[in-house]
Chains A and B, each alone.
Chain A
């Protein structure tokens, strides 16, 4: 697989008056495990969605290797989205379809209109999907409806879907924010394993500092759309953290850190 660096130059996104992402300039080397932190509204999700091109930048450039990403359209754009897979806080699976079909959605970029509409997938693709599920210990659930799985299981299915895309980058928008600690650990471990074994670049938004410290090679902290800190997790001293979250934000933030062990949203996942 080609290994390229992803570089953002002056990347900006405005929503009306509000600048969600403000002139972000970064280079992410292949194979890095990067965490993005920052308080709510800092622009973390917007940054990831810009990279995947779910939203368009107002200004700036996104370059992957020698390819300029920010003005791709049509087939080339869909191809880029396939190259940078994305997983979400709410999993974004199709509840009514079975797990296998959900994973096969990751293959749609390779399909023409007819086979896609008929939900026709080849045996090789099914094998790929089962292997991906198996890596995440989800193969036994392949024929179950996605909506009947627990949150942690759904997120692992989403990761399997991302894997069959054969991506070069894995974007994760708060992948564990609605999971209990046990499931959160499984999902983060899976991301780390994929990062190590496949050399896949992982860029993930996180809402807890301790997760960032224990998994990330590099941490990027955002505030009001700007990058406030960029360095190894060990560089996140108290002073830096106060800068990022502000003293009021810090209180709020430490609370959310401690509340991870007694997840307030735990009941939503006991499907």
Chain B
């Protein structure tokens, strides 16, 4: 019950007694808020500590010191230096006097990597296309304000939910099993996950539209599809383009990982490098992915701003 609803329940509508009633209600409300806050914080803290404990954050482990003796240490300070060791191992040897040769050695597999990078981007591109088509078509029946009936709404929402809840890597495993190793499994995996994610975003945009234009189309004798096409799509188009570009970036990242389970792209090289402990290869691959993502990020942001700018103008 809201405060105003409680207030109107009191007989005095004005005068000192009304003010007193307000003070009383206000004090009660404040007290209740404070209790709620305290209980909430306690629950949060308890949950946090429990998860930390389950996650071995409090574990004490044995470490070997420099003089060879072994000692018990809390796991976090004990493990942190190893992160440093790992990162240092991935550094390539780059000397100023032989920079060209060193770089060539660092990126020694550049021909394979370049081919796989292109494959990665193509997987992301095709997956985004499939995701946009699926997400776009399903987002309308999956919007509360647009769904023709509640069954269609339920089915579409749950399909999208399943598609996006299962991670790309898991879809990739399944599709590699069905269609064997290769980029097709990757396209399907990333595309299916993107369908779910985009469908959700699109349908949220749909749920915020002005319904009056749709009513106008309906009153003129338009079908449900006409209402969507003429009333809804023009309203959400800038949002759709913006989300799509954002998704492309995310899909490039996803596509560079799924090769780990054999679904095409750079991921397979990451796996090889890890299992053969080729640490400098790992850093080279990291640099390649990082640069690609930054470039795509930059490009799509520029495009997105233009789209949003176009949407605002006039």
Instruction: Report A's interface with B, CB cutoff 8 A.
Output: 52, 54, 78-82, 85-86, 88, 90-97, 101, 105-106, 108-109, 111, 113, 116-117, 119, 145, 147-148, 158, 161-162, 165
B199 lies within 8 A of chain A by Cβ: no
**Alpha-carbon distance A106/B226, docked complex (angstroms):** 11
On whether A108 and B219 interact (CB within 8 A), knowing A90-B212, A92-B212, A93-B213, the answer reads: no
Contact of A81 among B220, B225, B229 (CB under 8 A): B220
Is B213 in contact with A78, judged by CB distance below 8 angstroms?
A: no
B81 lies within 8 A of chain A by Cβ: no
On whether A88 and B220 interact (CB within 8 A), knowing A94-B231, A96-B235, A108-B226, the answer reads: no
Is B213 in contact with A95, judged by CB distance below 8 angstroms?
A: yes
Is A165 in contact with B216, judged by CB distance below 8 angstroms?
A: no
23 contacts across the A-B interface (CB closer than 8 A): A52-B219, A81-B218, A81-B220, A85-B220, A88-B212, A88-B215, A88-B216, A92-B219, A93-B216, A94-B230, A94-B234, A94-B235, A96-B234, A96-B235, A106-B220, A108-B220, A113-B223, A116-B222, A116-B223, A119-B229, A147-B314, A165-B220, A165-B221
**Alpha-carbon distance A91/B218, docked complex (angstroms):** 13
User: What residues of chain A lie closer than 8 Å to B235, measured between beta carbons?
Assistant: 94-96
B217 lies within 8 A of chain A by Cβ: yes
User: What residues of chain A lie closer than 8 Å to B219, measured between beta carbons?
Assistant: 52, 54, 81, 85-86, 88, 92
Q: Chain B: interface secondary structure?
A: helix
Is A105 in contact with B217, judged by CB distance below 8 angstroms?
A: yes
Per the CB 8 Å criterion, the residue count for chain B at the interface is 20
Task: Tell me the minimal C-beta distance from A116 to chain B in angstroms.
Answer: 6
**Alpha-carbon distance A94/B217, docked complex (angstroms):** 9
Contact of A94 among B213, B218, B225 (CB under 8 A): B213
Is B217 in contact with A158, judged by CB distance below 8 angstroms?
A: no
User: What residues of chain B lie closer than 8 Å to A119, measured between beta carbons?
Assistant: 229
**Alpha-carbon distance A113/B225, docked complex (angstroms):** 8
Is B223 in contact with A78, judged by CB distance below 8 angstroms?
A: yes
Is B212 in contact with A105, judged by CB distance below 8 angstroms?
A: no
Is B220 in contact with A109, judged by CB distance below 8 angstroms?
A: yes
User: What residues of chain A lie closer than 8 Å to B217, measured between beta carbons?
Assistant: 94, 105, 108
Is A108 in contact with B230, judged by CB distance below 8 angstroms?
A: yes
A86-B219, A95-B234, A109-B222 given; 4 more Cβ-contact pairs under 8 Å: A79-B221, A90-B212, A111-B226, A148-B314
Contact of A97 among B221, B223, B234, B314 (CB under 8 A): B234
- Greatest chain A CB density within 10 A among B216, B218, B222 is at B216
On whether A158 and B216 interact (CB within 8 A), knowing A78-B223, A97-B230, A108-B226, the answer reads: yes
On whether A54 and B218 interact (CB within 8 A), knowing A78-B223, A92-B213, the answer reads: yes
User: What residues of chain B lie closer than 8 Å to A105, measured between beta carbons?
Assistant: 216-217, 220, 222, 226, 230
**Alpha-carbon distance A148/B237, docked complex (angstroms):** 18
